[in-house]
Amino acid sequence: MVDIERTTTALLEGLFDHKNEAAWSQFDARYRPIVVAFARKLGLSESDANDVAQETVFQFLKEYREGKYDRDRGRLRSWIIGIARFRIAGIYRKKGVKREYRGESAMVTMPNEDECSKLWENERRTVILRMALQELRATTKSHDRTMKAFEMVAINQVPVATVANDLEMTQQEVYLAKSRTAKRLRTIIEKLDETYDENAT
């Protein structure tokens, strides 16, 4: 679970400490899913993407502890993307060899830096939206009618009248539950966005 109270800057400081398991696993929890999704979007299979993500996070940690990460080289995001791209290109190459073996062109084009960056941004957003749901669920009592009404109306698209009937609420209350929860979600997402401050150094 992502600790939304901890900014990335704080996290990075913790990473220097070899014994700081918490910082390490927190960092992993934050970035690995994005790298996986990113690699998937670039055409890798599920297992390849997982491998790439694991290697990327490790490599980052290694380089970071070796002090190779300096703010002049760019933002955290570009650094991770750089590592991931290199790994993905390696997999492409392996595939390319297989292609050549089949008598086909080995050329596979990797998106350029800008495109990668955009892709990353999209995947990050998705990961955050997903985490937001986890966070919302984790911080809500399971019998909370507001949450239930929200899930039914907004997520499962059950007609308001039915929800009201099922949960013994008025339709007005159902609408209110929906907009309240949407607002809460938005706050969580903003918070998550901050913790993912990739300008951190």
Partner 1 sequence: MTAEGRDQRPPRPTHDELEAIAAGATMSSQVLVYLRDWDEDGSVNEELKKLEKDQDFLVEFIEANRDRVKGPAPITEQQAPDGYEIIRELDRGGQGVVYLARQLRTKREVALKMILQAAFTTERQQQRFQREVELVASMNHPNIVTVFDSGTTPDGRLFTAMEYIKGVPLDRFRIHDQSEDGRVPDLREQIAIFLKVCDAVTSAHLRAIIHRDLKPLNILVDDEGEPHVLDFGLAKVVGPEAMTDSVMAATAAGEFMGTFAYASPEQVSGDPELIDTRTDVYALGVILYELLLKSRPYELGGSINDMIKSIMDIQPIKPTSVESDFDRDLETILLMALSKDINRRFQSVRDLADDLENWLAGRPIMARRDDSIYVLRKYIRRHRLPVSLAAGFILLLIAFAITMSVLFAKVTLANNRLAGTLGMASEVIASADPENNEKALTATTAVDMLESWSSVVNEDLADEPEISIRMFNDLGESFIGFDRYDQAEEQLLNALEAMDSLQQGPSREQARALHNLGRIAYKRARWDEAYASYDQSLEMQRRLQDMSPNALAKTLHHRGATLRKLGNAPAAQDDLQESLRIYKTILDNAQTEAEEIRVLGERNSVLNTLALIHSVDEPELAVTYYNQAINELRTKQDDLEIPDWRIGRLLHNVALCQLRMGELEQAKASLESSLYIKEAGLRQLEEEAQAADNDDIGNRLQLANSRYAMSTVLHRLGDMENAWNNAEQSLRIRALVLDATHPKVLDSRQQICELMLSDGDVDGAIAELELLRPMRQARTGNSTQLATMDLLRGRAYLEIGEHVEAESALESAWTEFDRRNQVDSARSTAAMLAKSCLDRGDEAMAQVWRDRSVSVEDGTISDDDGSP
**Given the rule CB under 8 A, which residues bind partner 1?**
40, 43, 45-46, 95, 98-99, 102-105, 125-126, 129-130, 132-133, 151, 154-162, 171-172, 175, 178-179, 182, 185-186
Paired tokens of 25: 């696993």
Which of residues 12 and 154 has its CB atom nearest to partner 1 in the complex? 154
- In the complex, the smallest distance separating the C-beta of residue 201 from partner 1, rounded to whole angstroms, is 29
Which of residues 57 and 152 has its CB atom nearest to partner 1 in the complex? 152
- In the complex, the smallest distance separating the C-beta of residue 3 from partner 1, rounded to whole angstroms, is 20
Q: CA 200 to CA 12: how far, in whole Å?
A: 8
Q: CA 67 to CA 91: how far, in whole Å?
A: 27
Which of residues 1 and 66 has its CB atom nearest to partner 1 in the complex? 1
- In the complex, the smallest distance separating the C-beta of residue 182 from partner 1, rounded to whole angstroms, is 5
CA-wise closest residue to 110 among 138, 90, 128: 90
Neighbour count for residue 177 (Cβ, 10 Å): 25
Which of residues 11 and 39 has its CB atom nearest to partner 1 in the complex? 39
Query: Helix, strand, coil proportions of the chain in percent (round to 5)?
Result: 75, 0, 25
